[in-house]
C-alpha cells in the first residue's frame, strides 16, 4: 500500500474536517457488577444501575466503552500478535487466503478490488463453523444468492487459527452478556435475543490500517453504520475511531483505554427496538506515522431470522416502523453491492420502513 492511488482519495464531503472534539467521549461503563452476580437472587442495585446506564448509552450515543469485562487479556494479546504477524507477511502469502466473490471470508485488500477506497487491509473469519446455510426456499429469487462461508486459515503464523478461535469464544460470551443487559434495559426478559444466535453468522475482522502519507485526503474506514446486531471492538492505543454524536452530528474521537472494548448498536437492534436504540455512524481516521490494528467482533443472527420490531415493545402509540427484514437476504444484497461498483447504493434498513401514513397499528 505504499503508493498513493487516486482511488483512496475521498470525495470532499467525506474528507476529515479539522474540527474534531476529543474531550467529551462516549460513556464509559464498568461491568464489574455482573461479575459478582449471584444467579439465585434478584438483581441488586448495582446491576439495576448498570442496566440503566447501558440503556442511556444505547439511546443517547449508540456507543459505549466497557471495562472489567472478564475477557482474558492473554487471549486478546495473543490474537493481536497473530494479526500483526499475519499482516506482516508478503502480499503473495496473504493473497493465498484472499476472499473472492463466492467465498466472502479471508484476506481482503483495497488495491486488488477497485471499488474500495479505505486505507486498510482486513482478514475475516466466521465464529461458527461451518456456518449454517438454509436451503434455497425461493430458487427463483434473485436476492437469494448463495455465498460460501468457509474460513480460510493461513499457514502462518502457525498458531493463527487457534489464537482466533480462542479469542472468538471469549468475546462471544461478552457479546451475549451485553445482549442480556440490552434486553433488560428495554424491559424485556434477559434471554429475549438468545434464540436468534443458535445458528449465528457472527464474524471477527482483523483490521490493519497502515500509515498513510496523506491523512487529510484519505480515511482508514469511511463513515458507515454496522449492519449486524452488536459490535464488540478491540482497538489498540493508536486511536482514530470517531463516532457521530447524535445530539449535534459532531464527530467525536474515541480515546483508547487499555484493555477496554468499544460496543456499538447495529442496525438489527435498531429494528428490534423499533428505533428506541439507533445504529450510529462512525469512521476511522488514518495516521501518517503509525500502523493501527483493531479487531471487531460482529454479533449477527442466523441467516433465516426475520428481524422485526419486538411485539412486547409495541402498542397503539408505538406501532411497528419496519416490515420484517430477512437477515440472510439482507446480508446477501449487501455483499453483492459491496462487490459491485462503488456508486451502487447499499441496501439500508430505512428501505424497510412502512410509509408514515401506512404505519401498522397492532390491536
Instruction: Give the residues lining the site for Ni ion (CB under 5 A).
Output: 226
Instruction: Mention every residue, 6+ apart, whose C-beta is less than 8 A from residue 103.
Output: 147, 148, 149, 150, 152
Packing angle, helices 45-60 and 160-185, rounded to 10: 100
241 binds, among ligand OGA, Ni ion, none (CB under 5 to 8 A by kind): ligand OGA
Show the site string, 292-311: x = touches ligand OGA by CB under 6 A, - = not.
--x-x---------------
235 binds, among Ni ion, ligand OGA, none (CB under 5 to 8 A by kind): ligand OGA
Could you say whether residue 221 binds ligand OGA (CB under 6 A)? yes
CB of 64 to Ni ion, least distance (A): 15
CB of 224 to Ni ion, least distance (A): 6
Single out the residue of 126, 128, 200, 235 in contact with ligand OGA (rule: CB under 6 A). Answer: 235
b/e burial code for range 172-200 (CB count within 10 A of at least 16 → b): bebbebbbbbbbbbbebeeebbeebbeeb
What region, left, alpha or beta, does residue 275 occupy, with left being phi > 0 and alpha being psi -120 to 50 degrees?
left
State the distance between the two ends of the chain, measured CA to CA, in whole angstroms: 58
192 binds, among ligand OGA, Ni ion, none (CB under 5 to 8 A by kind): none
Quick one: cell of 339? 462487490
CB of 337 to ligand OGA, least distance (A): 16
Single out the residue of 54, 178, 218, 241 in contact with ligand OGA (rule: CB under 6 A). Answer: 241
In this structure, are residues 47 and 35 in contact, taking their beta carbons and an 8 Å threshold? Answer: no
**Which pairs from 274-277 meet CB under 8 Å and 24+ separation?**
274/309, 274/310, 274/313, 274/314, 274/318, 274/320, 274/321, 274/322, 275/321, 276/58, 276/59, 276/186, 276/313, 277/58, 277/59, 277/62, 277/182, 277/186
In this structure, are residues 226 and 298 in contact, taking their beta carbons and an 8 Å threshold? Answer: yes
Could you say whether residue 183 binds ligand OGA (CB under 6 A)? no
Q: How far is CA 46 from CA 34, 35, 356, in A?
A: 9, 11, 40
Which part of the chain contacts ligand OGA (CB under 6 A), choosing from 24-32, 137-145, 193-201, 233-241? 233-241
Compare residues 151 and 207 and give the one whose CB is closer to ligand OGA.
207
Show the site string, 246-285: x = touches ligand OGA by CB under 6 A, - = not.
------------------------------------x-x-
The residue of the chain with the least Cβ separation from ligand OGA equals 294
CB of 229 to Ni ion, least distance (A): 13
CB of 241 to ligand OGA, least distance (A): 4
Could you say whether residue 203 binds ligand OGA (CB under 6 A)? no
Quick one: cell of 353? 420502513
Half-sphere exposure of residue 155: CA atoms within 13 angstroms, side-chain side: 5
CB of 79 to Ni ion, least distance (A): 18
CB of 45 to ligand OGA, least distance (A): 34
Residues that bind ligand OGA (CB under 6 A): 205, 207, 221, 226, 233, 235, 241, 282, 284, 294, 296
Amino acid at each position: 500500500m505504499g503508493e498513493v492511488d487516486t482511488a483512496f482519495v475521498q470525495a470532499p464531503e467525506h474528507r476529515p474536517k479539522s474540527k474534531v472534539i476529543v474531550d467529551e467521549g462516549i460513556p464509559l461503563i464498568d461491568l464489574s457488577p455482573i461479575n459478582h452476580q449471584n444467579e439465585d437472587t434478584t438483581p441488586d442495585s448495582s446491576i439495576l444501575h448498570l442496566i440503566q446506564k447501558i440503556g442511556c448509552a444505547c439511546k443517547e450515543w449508540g456507543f459505549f466503552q466497557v471495562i472489567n469485562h472478564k475477557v482474558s487479556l492473554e487471549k486478546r494479546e495473543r490474537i493481536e500478535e497473530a494479526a500483526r504477524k499475519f499482516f506482516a507477511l508478503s502480499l503473495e502469502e496473504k493473497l493465498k487466503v484472499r476472499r473472492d466473490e463466492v467465498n466472502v471470508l479471508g484476506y481482503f485488500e483495497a488495491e486488488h478490488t477497485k471499488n474500495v477506497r479505505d486505507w486498510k487491509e482486513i482478514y475475516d473469519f466466521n465464529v461458527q463453523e461451518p456456518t449454517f446455510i438454509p436451503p434455497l426456499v425461493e430458487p427463483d429469487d434473485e436476492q437469494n444468492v448463495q455465498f460460501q462461508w468457509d474460513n480460510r486459515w493461513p499457514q502462518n503464523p502457525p498458531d493463527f487459527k487457534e489464537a482466533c478461535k480462542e479469542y472468538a469464544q471469549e468475546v462471544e460470551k461478552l457479546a451475549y452478556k451485553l445482549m442480556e443487559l440490552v434486553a433488560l434495559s428495554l424491559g424485556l426478559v434477559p434471554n429475549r435475543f438468545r434464540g436468534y444466535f443458535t445458528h449465528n453468522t457472527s464474524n471477527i475482522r482483523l483490521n490493519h490500517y497502515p500509515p498513510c502519507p496523506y491523512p487529510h485526503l484519505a480515511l482508514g474506514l469511511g463513515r458507515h453504520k454496522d449492519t449486524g446486531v452488536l459490535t464488540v471492538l478491540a482497538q489498540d492505543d493508536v486511536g482514530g475511531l470517531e463516532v457521530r454524536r447524535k445530539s449535534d452530528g459532531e464527530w467525536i474521537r474515541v480515546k483508547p483505554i487499555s484493555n477496554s472494548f468499544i460496543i456499538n448498536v447495529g442496525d438489527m437492534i435498531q429494528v428490534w427496538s423499533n428505533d428506541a436504540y439507533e445504529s450510529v455512524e462512525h469512521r476511522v481516521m488514518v495516521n501518517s506515522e503509525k500502523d493501527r490494528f483493531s479487531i471487531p467482533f460482529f454479533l449477527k443472527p442466523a441467516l433465516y431470522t426475520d428481524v422485526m420490531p419486538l411485539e412486547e415493545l409495541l402498542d397503539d402509540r408505538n406501532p411497528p416502523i419496519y416490515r420484517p427484514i430477512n437477515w440472510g437476504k439482507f446480508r446477501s444484497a449487501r455483499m453483492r453491492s459491496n462487490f459491485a461498483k462503488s456508486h451502487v447504493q447499499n441496501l439500508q434498513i430505512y428501505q424497510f420502513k412502512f410509509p408514515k401514513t401506512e404505519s401498522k397499528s397492532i390491536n
